[in-house]
Structure formats: C-alpha cells, structure tokens
Chains A and B, each alone.
Chain A
Amino acid sequence: MEIYDFFEHTKNFLFFWKTAGMMKIFRIFWFFFVFEITRYVIFDIIVFCFYRIKKAVLRNRWEAARLKLKQQNPLVSIIAPGKNEGKHITSLAHSLSEQTYKNIEIIIIDDGSDDDTPQICRQLLREGKISKYLRNDIRGGKASAANFGLQQTKGRFIIHVDVDCSFDRDAIENILIPFFVDSRIGAVSGNVKVKNPTESVCSALQAIEYLKTVTIGRLVGSTIKTLRIISGAFGAFRKDILERIGGWDIGPGLDGDVVVKIRKIDFAIYMEPKAVCYTSPPENFKALTKQRLRWSRSLVRFRMRKHRDIFFPTANFRFSTFLGFMENMVYNVLLDIKWIVYAIDIMIHFPSTAKYIFPLNYLLYTMSNVVQFMVIISLSERKKDELKLAPYLLLMPLYIAIYMRAVRTYAYIQEFFFRVSYKDPWNPRKVSEKAEELRI
C-alpha cells in the first residue's frame, strides 16, 4: 500500500511539473535560477576552469617561485595563540615538525590558560619541538595574544594557526610560494578542511560546507580578487605588512578584519588550495550554532560598521574589495531577507502546490550541491576520502537553506538591534566594554 502511495505521489509530482511548463517553473524557482545556480554553480565552474588554465599556463612561474623560496629559505614564524588548548598542542607541534619547509620558529601564546598548557609547552620547549612559549597570566583575548606573539617573531613571514589544527607535510611550503610569485600578495589563505569528517552528521555537514565555502568559495574569490577572509586556522602574512596594519584588532571577526586592512593598503590576498590544514570543528549543533552566531554577528559589526567606508568612494576605495563586500552582503544578508519574502510569495501565490514545490526545490538544491561537489572532488588531493561524504549531500539543503539561514538571520537581528557581539564572552569583558564604549 505504501509503495503504491509513493508511486502515485511521484506520478502526480512528475505530471504536475510536466504540465506546469518552463515559465511557471522559472516563476516559482527564480530565486534558485537567478541567484543560486548562477553564482554557486555556473560562475564557480567558469572561474574554477579559469584558475586551472591560469595555473597551467603559469606553471613555470610557480616552479620558479618554489625554487626561489628554497634558495632564500626565509625564517617563517608560526604563531599559535590559544586558551586551554593543552590537549591539542602536542599534535600541533608534531604536525609542524613534519613539515617539508624546515626554517620555522613555532611560538605558542598561552592566553591565560588554566589547564595543563604551561606544563605541556614547557616540556615541548625542552624537547625543542617549539621555539618559544609565551604566556599572559591574565586573558586578553585572541587579538592580544596574536599581537603579543607577533611582537616576538623574527621571521619574514608570519603564519597564524589555530592550536587545534594539523597540517599536510607540504602545507607550509605551499602557503609560502604565492609570496614569491607576486610581490603584491600580502597574505595567503590556507585550505582549511574538517578533521575526522565522518565522525558525526554535524562534522560531515561542516566538512562539505568547508569544501564548498573554503576550498572552492575562497579559491574563486582569490581568482577574481575579491577574497575577503583568511581563516585564523591557517593564514600566512608578510610580516612587514602585518606590522604596517598594526597586527590584529580586537574581535570577534578579526580574521576578516585583518584581510580588509591589508586590502585597504592595496595588497592582494591569495588562496592556495594545496596548503591543506585540518581543523577540529564544533562537535555538535549547539556548539556550531554558538560559533556561527558569533561569525555572523561579526559580519554586521565589522563589514557594515567598522569598514563601511569600503562602500563609499573614499581614499580607501578598491573596486575588488567593494565587490567582495557587496557579494558578501547580497548573498549573506539580503538573500536571507529575500528568502523570507520568497517563502511568503509562494504561500500567497501558490498555496495549493507547496507539496510539489518543496520536493523539487530540495531536488534542485541537491543537484546543484552534487555538481559543486564534483568540482571539489576534481581538485581534491584526497578524492577517495572526500567521496565518502557524498551521502550527506542529501542533507545539505536542510543544513544550508534552513539551519544556516535561520542562524544567520537571528545573528544579524541580534547585532543590528542589540549589539550582542559586545557581550560575547569570546572576548574578555574589559576588552568588550572598551570596544562598546568607543563603538569599535
């Protein structure tokens, strides 16, 4: 009986869309065709192809850059600020000691930890596995710890990493090469992926999301020169440039903020997909929600308030930066609101056909995700492993379109109307109070 019902529904579903005609389909799914497939499938594929062709054409230049890096062999300072990350530090040090690029100094900055971080770091220091261990007894926040670390570095390049990350053996080497290809590059983003992606549904969905937004999303942004963020998990900077911009400003959202500051002084930002780093994502949806609320709030606080001059033709105006910001605003803020409008439109104009619209909508988004995923796999250095994530693609529309949109919308409201980011315990109270007082 149930099988019969299923077939009956499918038959009705197909019949409905067959008789609806292309115009009606476009009318109902204009949102998908105009914004989603154009931007995330067609545009990404075109840019991705352009990237591959460009990379192939400039192969010799890249090889020369690699050679130059090896000849010059500059000292690279890796700074890893963190609080209560004791359990991750040993594996971070171990992962960095395996790097093909050897001229590195590893500096751990302990931002007032009360776990076993000091003991572990002192042991690693004795064993020569890290170069320096700095500790602030009083927590000052991530920016303060990173800036303190920056002050004590000796390298020509600074790599900022999160303590819970681990790296492919050639990650450091690969992230440095772009600096030797183009002297206008001020910072390079690594390719951040999720550690143990199939451990839980939450991890798997984040793994696919990272592949879409970091591996492909940032690669596309980098290629069209609109890249607007370098993940704190793995990003490389020229030290002179970091010093010019005064290092990191107080967060949350400092990863994006530092990139905007670099772009404002007219240096390019690049993303190197071969510089692979693995990060530990939030393990459950509660922690994930907390993280994403923070990230989304920072979009309002930093992009719409602190760096609003980007939208105006001031001395700091750069078209590529403007474009990147606009794309961010349109796709993350406006389309979130638009989505609500779209839902109301469907409920008003097509109330009786919602049972046919929702499945097709889901199907279209899934197909779009599958195509994107295939592009990602073609670029992946771990095709077999990442293909294991394929079954989770079926859940992605729910994750992105419903869960993420809801979280983002809630965060924007929180920040627009209540400036909640100033109360986020992610920053120490004293720092947030000062930031709120100064409206920064």
Chain B
Amino acid sequence: MEILFITNDSSLKIPPLEKDRITLLPSNQFNIKSAENCSAIIIDQRISETKNVLIEIRQSQSDIVALKPVFIFSHKEISDIEIQCLADGRTNLQELSEILYSADRISKLTTTLKELKTENFQTLVILRILRFLYAREMQLKPLLSPKYRYGYVYPFAISQFKDIEDFRIYEILARMEKEGLLIGNFYDRVHFCNRCHSAFMNFREICPSCKSANLSVENVIHHFRCGYTAQESKFMQGEQLICPKCNSILRHIGTDYEKPSTIFICHSCQETFQEPLVECFCFYCTNRTPVEETVSWDIKTYEISPAGINCAINGIIFSFAEFLKTQLELVEYDNFKRIVEIEIERKKRYKRDSSIGSFRVTNFQEMYLMIGERKNEIGLEMARIIKEALRTTDVITVLNESTFLILFLETPVTGANTALSRIKTNIEKLLVNNISTPDKKFLPEISIAAVKVEEFSLTNLLPE
C-alpha cells in the first residue's frame, strides 16, 4: 500500500513496514493530484496547513480522492473538532501499523465504487456520505462542538459544503433517512434559532408585558388572620414579617401564614405575573423568539441501510417506495386510513364486503443489495404486475420500503387473497429471474395477508 505522509519534519524516522511504502512529502509540495495515486494519507498535525489540506481532500471533485483514508500524525489527542470530523483518526510512529489495516480496507472498498456522474449537488453530497459510511462501515455520529453554530457536527458530511456551517446537511440527512438510505437513531434534541439556525440561544424568562428579562421572583404570603395576600416584600420590615393590613407579626408558618404560590415582578415595568414568557435570544443573530417558534430538531446517529449500500455501490439513488408511489398513484397512509374509515361506515349502511390486504417483501434488504443497476426496469415491471392484479377502484398505500397495503373495494377476503396471491407469484418470478446473479440466487420472501375492512389494524395484517 502506497501511503503519502505530508510533513515538514525531515528528521522523522519511519519504522520499516512489511508490505507498505510511505512517501514523505513537504506540505508546500502537496497538491490534490499527488493524493490521487496513494492508498492512504497521513498528515502531520504540526504543519500549519493541516486543516486546509484535509478540506481540499474531502472536497475533491473525485470520489476516489475525497473518500481516501486520511490520518493525522500526532502524539496527542486531536482537540480540533474540525480536524476530528475530516480525518479518519490519529496515529503516531508507534501506532502506525494499527491504522494500516483499516486504511487498506477503506482503500479497497473505495476503489470498487463506480464513478458518479451527476451535476446535482445534493445527489453528489448524498452519495458521498453513503460511500463514506459504506467504505468505513461506520455510523455517522454527531460530535458536540461549542465552536459550531449548530452545536453538533457530522464528521465528513460537513466537509461537502463550501461553508462548513451549512444547515443543508441536517436537511439532507433527514431526507436520506426518509428515503430509506440511512437508518436514524435518536441522539439528542436541539432547538435552533428560526432565523439563522444557531443552537446557541439563551433561554430566559421575560415579562409578558414589556418583554424585559429584569425579573425577580417572590413568595406570596397569605395571612390567615385577616386574609391579606400579597408578595413577601410587602410583609418584610427588617428581619420581621409584618402584615401591612393588620400590623400583626407573622411568627409561624402554617399557624399564622402560608406561602401558597410565587409571583414574578418585572423591575422594568413593575408588572406582576406568575407565568413569565420564555424567550430565546440567539447569540449569533440576536433574534428574539418565543420558545415554541424555535426550530426543534432531532439530532440522530445514522447508519447506512441496505438501500443506501446499494446506492453507494452503484452510484444511483433509488427507493422502491418512492418509485412505486408515482407508478401506482399510491395514496399517503393517513389518507388511506381515512378512506378505510369511510368504507367501514359505508359497509355498515350498504352491507357490502370490502377487504384489506398486505403485501410485504420480508427480505427486501437482501433484495436491495442485489438489485444493482436494473432497479428502474424491475420497479416498472413490479408496478405493472400490481396494476394488472388490481382494479382501478382499489386503493393502495405504502407503509414503508417493503410493505404495501391495498383496500379491495367490494371484494371479499377470498377475492383479495386471490389477487394478492397472483401478485406474489408474479413478483417472485420477476425477482428470481432478474436479481439473481451467477454467484448467488435471490429467493424472495413475500408475505401476504387479507382481512375484512372492519377488522383492519396493522397488528391484524402484519402480526410479526
């Protein structure tokens, strides 16, 4: 393995390696072309251009370069969060051999990827992220950083934008999850400024009247004897609590008086209130906004899904669910449920049988991994098979990437089962014949079920 070591320290004594060769390169001689022919790169953290070199690599036009394994040569932990995000890890002379295995693996997986040709920036970013995760077999885990506007940064992903603080990365990751390319797991919830998306906001209680934050909170005192009830300061006379109404000394809580609540006092407008507003003040753009108007965002860790792996390998973004949505004129699941409710009511009145069926490819992950470049073709054929088995009045929705629900209007359960069986048989044939490779035969696992419309529930249809 050819390793490029960018350093200005000519006195470095690299220990001899068995199979790998390390070439030292002064930082001033580095250009992106020099990165193309190596399998991995090590950058000496002591050079002033470390970060720039990393960004240049990760933003390279070429996938091969951008996805290269890059390590930082340092004896200490990397403290710079940006460098942490862009590099694959840290190494030093003693630990050099430890990184070689992973560098080799990344390098090999990267070289098998088909070169992507797209003009669309978002598509490019999506594929880069998928390929980065695929080649490293890692999770995309957000890193906490007070230096960054959003509080969390995603390693590698942020390097794909000119401005490292581009909010689009959050939107792109969310979209990738929605399209089934990534599997997201909740990590944290943050509130972003609704103007600049900064997460650095000061949450503070303010006066509902003049919006000042100059507030204090006091206990309310209820004097049992005369019923006088007011804030504590009205009772305070030196060290003693004296009722301003009847001049009695309040000696004993529970016997003479109680503190039934608290009250806020605004020192700007003298307003009193018990429930202050909570406002967010953005440290970046000085925007002031009520808490409920901030952008609440779930920060997630992401792992690549089988569909994502398929996209990473073949360089094509594809989702069966999305594809079939347009081909079969699928309705949204919420609308589907509403239609089912209407049908249940209609059935009560007209006593006609309708039923609901489910169709599910249980090993769809395997299918995604094997489907390759013929996905459009196979998708079209699947849509044709489904269309042929259904009537124009039947309503179909997609529950997730592998599960479809069909409302068979005025069709008993036996009729629905017949149609579902026909779909199952034809799709099985289609997939076996078209997805299998000479090395591996794909055996689709398709489950179908049908129930009366009034018995519709996901647990009835999809018990597992």
Interface residues of A (CB under 8 A from B): 112, 122, 125, 132-141, 143-145, 147-148, 151-152, 246-250, 254, 430-431, 434-435, 438, 440
Contacts and interface: CB of A to CB of B under 8 A. Distances in A.
A16 B254 CA distance: 68
Closest 5 CB pairs of A and B: A143-B227, A136-B260, A246-B245, A148-B229, A138-B260
A247 B229 CA distance: 10
Contacts of A135: 261, 274
Contacts of A431: 224, 227
Contact of B275 (A133, A137, A250, A435): A133
B214 to A, nearest CB: 18
B260 A140 contact: yes
A107 B389 CA distance: 66
A248 B225 CA distance: 12
A164 B272 CA distance: 25
A135 B220 CA distance: 10
Nearest to A248: B227
Contact of A147 (B229, B263, B274, B275): B229
Contacts of B227: 140-141, 143-144, 147, 247-250, 254, 431
Contacts of B272: 151-152
Given A122-B275, A148-B230, A434 B225 contact: yes
Given A148-B229, A152-B272, A249-B226, A430 B258 contact: yes
Contacts of B258: 138, 140, 430
Contacts of B273: 132, 152
A259 to B, nearest CB: 16
Residue from B224, B231, B261 whose CB has the most chain A CB atoms within 10 Å = B224
A44 B355 CA distance: 79
11 contacts: A133-B274, A134-B274, A140-B260, A143-B227, A144-B228, A246-B226, A246-B245, A430-B224, A430-B258, A434-B256, A435-B224
Residue from B225, B234, B260 whose CB has the most chain A CB atoms within 10 Å = B260
Nearest to B229: A148
Interface in B188-242: 220, 222, 224-231, 234
Interface residues of B, number: 24
A246 B246 contact: yes
Contacts of A125: 275
Nearest to B224: A434
B265 to A, nearest CB: 10
Contacts of A147: 227-230
B224 A151 contact: no
Given A145-B229, A247-B228, A136 B275 contact: no
Nearest to B230: A151
B220 A136 contact: yes
A97 to B, nearest CB: 19
A246 B229 contact: no
B237 to A, nearest CB: 16
Given A247-B245, A430-B258, A136 B226 contact: no
A148 B224 contact: no
Contacts of B226: 246, 249-250
Nearest to A151: B230
A141 B227 CA distance: 8
A112 B259 CA distance: 12
Nearest to A143: B227
Contacts of A133: 274-275
Interface in B233-282: 234, 245-246, 254-256, 258, 260-261, 263, 272-275
Nearest to B261: A136
A144 B275 CA distance: 20
Contacts of B225: 250, 434-435, 438, 440
A136 B222 contact: yes
Nearest to A431: B224
Residue from B227, B231, B246, B275 whose CB has the most chain A CB atoms within 10 Å = B227
Contacts of A254: 227
B231 to A, nearest CB: 7
A136 B228 contact: no
B260 A246 contact: no
A143 B245 CA distance: 13
Contacts of B231: 151
Given A122-B275, A246-B245, A246-B246, A136 B229 contact: yes
Given A138-B261, A144-B229, 16 more contacts: A125-B275, A133-B275, A134-B261, A136-B222, A138-B258, A138-B260, A147-B228, A151-B230, A152-B273, A246-B226, A246-B228, A247-B227, A248-B227, A431-B227, A434-B224, A434-B225
A346 B245 CA distance: 53
Contacts of B263: 134, 152
Nearest to B259: A138
A140 B222 contact: yes
Contacts of B254: 430
Contacts of A122: 275
Contacts of A112: 260
Nearest to B248: A438
B304 to A, nearest CB: 44
Contacts of A248: 227
Residue from B222, B234, B263, B274 whose CB has the most chain A CB atoms within 10 Å = B222
Contacts of B256: 434
